[in-house]
Amino acid sequence: MKFRLAPRAKRAFALRMAALAVITLLTACSSMAPSYQRPTAPVAASWPQDGAAEGTTAAADIEWQSFFPDPRLRELIALALQGNRDLRIAVLAIEQARAQYQIRRADQLPTVNAQAAGSRTPTANGGNASLYTAGLALSAWEIDFFGRIASLSDVALAQYLATEEGRKAAQISLVAAVANTWLALGADEDLLALTRQTLASRQDSLRLARLRFENGVTPELDLRQAESLTETARVTLAQQQRQRALDENLLVLLIGQPLPGGLQASAGIDAVTLPELAAGAPSELLARRPDIRQSEQQLLAANANIGAARAAFFPRISLTAGIGSASSELTGLINSSSLGLTLAPQLLLPIFDAGRNQAGLQSARAAREVAVAQYERSIQAAFREVADALAGRATLGDQLQAQRNVAAAEAARLRLSDLRYTNGVASYLDLLDAQRSLFAAQQALVQTRLAQLQSQVNLYKALGGGWSELAARP
């Protein structure tokens, strides 16, 4: 149904709408936030390790599906990306921040509501008077001359982008945590197999020592030493069984569901290989690490908040408008003569606020300095993580080879000690010491290999690996 305005009402309506359009155009003002300048990275221009350029591919360019070769590990990572509760919280935080940003954007536009009302009031002659109204109302709309609402919208946008970067950082950490835990489980299996083999060997030695003691060939001291060594192996076995259970429980927590059958790590981490990575320059971390980008978005939000605090010192102009009709009869609401337009601008100028606006500006500036410090700290923490992983890459390979040599030497020593003891040249104490040393060297070999693999995973994580658009869709 169309409403028709009288010619004079049409002219008045057109003039008022033109004035409203002019006012709307004036709202496109510049922000009062200070111009943003990225702080200088408080780290060295190069890595402290010489082995920084061993790889040829940047970590952030390698999808986790390609970096981790074992299909069981890839399936576990995919399950974790779907079921991990910490990652789910990060995703929900993005939705919340997006909604807050949409609210702030909506504040920049007027809100129009339809309204209708009817009332009956008693009259002096004992009757009733009816009044019906209907129309459209534009609620108090702040015209953003000084960029206060625009600055608040910029704050919400930066916070939304920060949560998005936070979700990427959470995924990178989750991928690395699953991989490291899975490797630890593999090392647990290696250590359990080694300990069971050692325990079986010591039980055989104990039976032989008991038999020799009972036949008067050896003293009781040899028997008690054999018993001690056997029980020590039992202690180690129990400790390793407990550690394996703890690592499996952690993996269950990371993937967010019971561990599927067939996906447990098996023995043999010595055969696991991971790609070599190019560290690049420290300045590349600013673009590669989501946690650094998250800190920078928080810095941008704090910077924009200063603009909103500055704008609070200036007048706020709001506009309320409405168009509608009023009549004592419902049918009269559609008559052109009953239509009317109202336009009510309002100006609010702060005169005395007991220092509230000044304190708000000081708080915003202090918050920006805090954000700068947090941004710089995130860069320094990232630099240290990469430097630590590079130090591991530069030294753990040599340590692993040396540990292999130690284990080989101890194995030869044990063979010679057993031969000397059998021929009565050496004491049983020498044989037991050789057994203990070999067991310790073999354990250290497994642990060193685990440390080397986990150092490679940590380098992949520290360089921003584990996130890509493809990686987001496991």
- Residue 18 reports pLDDT greater than 70: no
Say whether both 254 and 383 belong to one domain: yes
Q: If DSSP codes are grouped into helix, strand and coil, which group holds residue 184?
A: helix
Characterize the bridge pairing of strands 128-143 and 339-348: unpaired
User: In the listed set 328, 349, 370, which residue is the last one of a domain according to the structure?
Assistant: 349
pLDDT at 267: 62
pLDDT at 333: 59
Q: Residue 279 belongs to what domain range? A: 45-108+147-311+359-462
Is residue 396 very low, low, confident or very high in pLDDT (cuts 50, 70, 90)? Answer: very high
Q: Within a domain: residue 1?
A: yes
Say whether both 163 and 90 belong to one domain: yes
Name which residue leads in pLDDT, 30 or 114. 114
User: In the listed set 324, 349, 374, which residue is the last one of a domain according to the structure?
Assistant: 349
Query: Rounded CA gap, 463 and 289, in Å?
Result: 7
pTM of the predicted model as reported, rounded to 2 decimal places: 0.80
**Residue 336: CB partners within 8 Å, gap ≥ 6?**
3, 4, 5, 6, 9
Say whether both 253 and 334 belong to one domain: no
Strands of the sheet with 112-122, listed across from one edge: 112-122, 128-143, 316-327, 339-348
Query: Rounded CA gap, 69 and 182, in Å?
Result: 13
- Residue 437 reports pLDDT greater than 90: yes
Q: Within a domain: residue 320?
A: yes
Say whether both 185 and 220 belong to one domain: yes
Is residue 410 very low, low, confident or very high in pLDDT (cuts 50, 70, 90)? Answer: very high
Query: Rounded CA gap, 210 and 363, in Å?
Result: 79
Task: Look at residues 326, 279, 26 and name the one whose alpha carbon lies nearest to residue 147.
Answer: 26
Name which residue leads in pLDDT, 423 or 404. 404
For residue range 286-340, what is the model confidence (pLDDT) as tens digits? 888 899 999 999 999 999 888 888 887 888 777 777 776 766 666 655 665 556 6
Name which residue leads in pLDDT, 316 or 455. 455
For residue range 244-285, what is the model confidence (pLDDT) as tens digits? 999 999 999 998 888 887 766 666 788 888 988 888 888 888
Q: Within a domain: residue 474?
A: no
Name which residue leads in pLDDT, 263 or 399. 399
**What Rg, from alpha-carbon coordinates, does the chain have?**
37
Q: Within a domain: residue 222?
A: yes
Characterize the bridge pairing of strands 128-143 and 112-122: antiparallel
Structure tokens of 120?
């009956």
pLDDT at 96: 79
Highest mean pLDDT among 36-40, 109-113, 241-245, 304-308: 241-245
Say whether both 299 and 328 belong to one domain: no
Mean pLDDT within 354-365: 86
Query: Rounded CA gap, 218 and 227, in Å?
Result: 14
Question: What is the per-residue DSSP string for 373-429?
Answer: HHHHHHHHHHHHHHHHHHHHHHHHHHHHHHHHHHHHHHHHHHHHHHHHHHTTSS-HH
Say whether both 25 and 51 belong to one domain: no
**Residue 108: CB partners within 8 Å, gap ≥ 6?**
144, 149, 150, 153
pLDDT at 244: 93
pLDDT at 140: 65
Q: Domain of 240: which CATH number?
A: 1.20.1600.10
Lowest-confidence segment of 93-107, 194-208, 418-432 by average pLDDT: 93-107
pLDDT at 14: 47
pLDDT at 421: 84
Say whether both 222 and 117 belong to one domain: no
Mean pLDDT within 336-359: 74
Highest mean pLDDT among 54-63, 100-109, 263-272, 352-361: 352-361
Q: Within a domain: residue 408?
A: yes
Q: Within a domain: residue 453?
A: yes
Is residue 220 very low, low, confident or very high in pLDDT (cuts 50, 70, 90)? Answer: confident
Is residue 50 very low, low, confident or very high in pLDDT (cuts 50, 70, 90)? Answer: low
Q: Domain of 332: which CATH number?
A: 2.20.200.10
Give the percent of the chain with pLDDT over 90: 31
Give the percent of the chain with pLDDT over 70: 81
Say whether both 377 and 409 belong to one domain: yes
How many structural domains are present in the chain? 2
Say whether both 116 and 100 belong to one domain: no
Query: Rounded CA gap, 360 and 141, in Å?
Result: 23
Say whether both 80 and 183 belong to one domain: yes
Say whether both 247 and 294 belong to one domain: yes
Q: Within a domain: residue 40?
A: no
- Residue 204 reports pLDDT greater than 80: yes
Say whether both 138 and 54 belong to one domain: no
For residue range 115-131, what is the model confidence (pLDDT) as tens digits? 777 677 777 676 777 77
Q: Is 254 left (phi over 0), alpha (psi -120 to 50) or beta?
A: alpha
For residue range 127-143, what is the model confidence (pLDDT) as tens digits? 777 776 776 776 666 77
Name which residue leads in pLDDT, 355 or 2. 355
- Residue 449 reports pLDDT greater than 60: yes
Mean pLDDT of the chain: 81
- Residue 451 reports pLDDT greater than 70: yes
Structure tokens of 291?
């946690």
Highest mean pLDDT among 209-213, 398-402, 422-426: 398-402
Mean pLDDT within 184-204: 92
Q: Within a domain: residue 340?
A: yes
